[in-house]
């Protein structure tokens, strides 16, 4: 059972426009969420995170929105640039103490292509 | 600053052969260490994690094993590879916290092809 779902395997956006990547989760215990960016043949790099006590977190061109009631989060990139073309992974975790806090559950990723 | 190294970067192995992937972390002590696998068309799957020397937790039963002989060294092994072991293996580390957000830092990955 997939606890973190990224239902769009790919997304194409024109340079300068907004990219919106979506992620849904089923486990109500998750209380923090992260987005990672991955280029081919490289490891994922951390992009931005959000705690469940917030509904928005912003870092430059990247904003993550969290809707807890819908168990949905999204990553907005604006304006999109060709260098943003990569696979984006959504991840979720539980921050309490114990073994659960060591695990992140990842989605399958969404491949973003920004067209010049 | 902290760095994570993983090798080899690329590996082609025949079915039934052994495997050893190594990962080391520099610039931190007592990190949490992880092995993930990204198989074709799938997300990142947690295979093993370790919170200390000699402490290994397995998340997925399979023919792989992990060891942590030193504080900042994590090794992924197999005695006999299967075709289904092909994939992109990622080592990661995080600060050893008992609570709070667990932000993982990944290595560059090792591409394993089993023929």
Alpha-carbon gap, residue A11 to B71, rounded angstroms: 41
pLDDT at A99 over 60: no
DSSP string, chain A: --SEE---SEEEEETTS-EEEEEEE--TT--EEEEEEE-TTS--EEEEEEETT-SEEEETTEEEEEETTTTEEEEEESS--GGG-EEEEEEEE--SSSGGGG-EEE---EEEEEE-
Q: Band of the pLDDT at A61, cuts 50, 70, 90?
A: very high
A89 and B97 within 8 Å at the Cβ level: the answer is: no
CATH of the domain at A29: 2.60.40.10
Contacts of B111 in chain A (CB under 8 A): 41
Interface test with B, best of A104, A108, A110 (most B CBs within 10 A): A104
Q: Please give the residue range of the domain that contains residue B69.
A: 3-114
What is the per-residue pLDDT across A14-24, written as a single tens digit (0 to 9) for each?
A: 999 999 999 99
Asked whether A11 and A80 are in contact (CB, 8 A), the reply is no
| Interface touch A102/B102, C-beta < 8 Å | yes
**For B48-103, what is each residue's pLDDT tens digit?**
999 889 899 888 767 899 999 999 999 999 999 999 999 999 999 988 665 566 78
Position A104 scores a pLDDT of 86
Assign A95 a pLDDT band (cuts: 50, 70, 90): confident
Q: How many domains does chain A have?
A: 1
Span A82-108, mean pLDDT? 83
Residue A52 belongs to domain spanning: 4-115
Q: What is the reported pLDDT for B62?
A: 79
Q: How many CA atoms lie within 13 A of B35 on its CB side?
A: 29
Q: What pLDDT score does A102 carry?
A: 65
* Token pair recorded at residue B104: 């993982």
Q: Is the pLDDT of residue A111 over 90?
A: yes
Number of domains making up chain B: 1
Q: Which of A2-16, A39-53, B41-55 bottoms out in mean pLDDT, i.e. has the lowest?
A: B41-55
Chain A hits for B90, Cβ within 8 Å:
43-44
Among the partner-chain residues A6, A34, A89, the one whose CB lies closest to the CB of B103 is A34
- Decide if B46 contacts B62 (C-beta within 8 A): no
In CATH, what number is assigned to the domain containing residue B8?
2.60.40.10
């Amino acid at each position: 059972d997939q606890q973190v779902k990224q239902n769009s395997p790919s997304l194409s956006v024109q340079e300068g426009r907004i990219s919106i990547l979506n992620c849904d989760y089923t486990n109500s215990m998750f209380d923090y969420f992260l987005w990672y960016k991955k280029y081919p043949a490289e490891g994922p790099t951390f992009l931005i995170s959000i705690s469940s006590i917030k509904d928005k977190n912003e870092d430059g061109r990247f904003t993550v929105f969290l809707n807890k009631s819908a168990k949905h989060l999204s990553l907005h990139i604006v304006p999109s640039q060709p260098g943003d073309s990569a696979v984006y992974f959504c991840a979720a975790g539980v921050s309490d103490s114990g073994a659960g806090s060591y695990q992140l559950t990842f989605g399958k990723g969404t491949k973003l292509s920004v067209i010049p | 600053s902290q760095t994570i190294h993983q090798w080899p970067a690329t590996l082609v192995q025949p079915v039934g052969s052994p495997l050893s992937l190594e990962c080391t972390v520099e610039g931190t002590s007592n990190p949490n260490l992880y092995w993930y696998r990204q198989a074709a068309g799938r997300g990142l799957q947690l295979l093993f994690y370790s919170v200390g020397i000699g402490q290994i937790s397995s998340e997925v039963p399979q023919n792989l094993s992990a060891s942590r002989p030193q504080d900042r060294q994590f090794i992924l092994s197999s005695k006999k590879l299967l075709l289904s072991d092909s994939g992109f293996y990622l080592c990661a580390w995080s600060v050893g916290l008992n609570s709070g957000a667990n932000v993982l830092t990944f290595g560059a990955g090792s591409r394993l092809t089993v023929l």
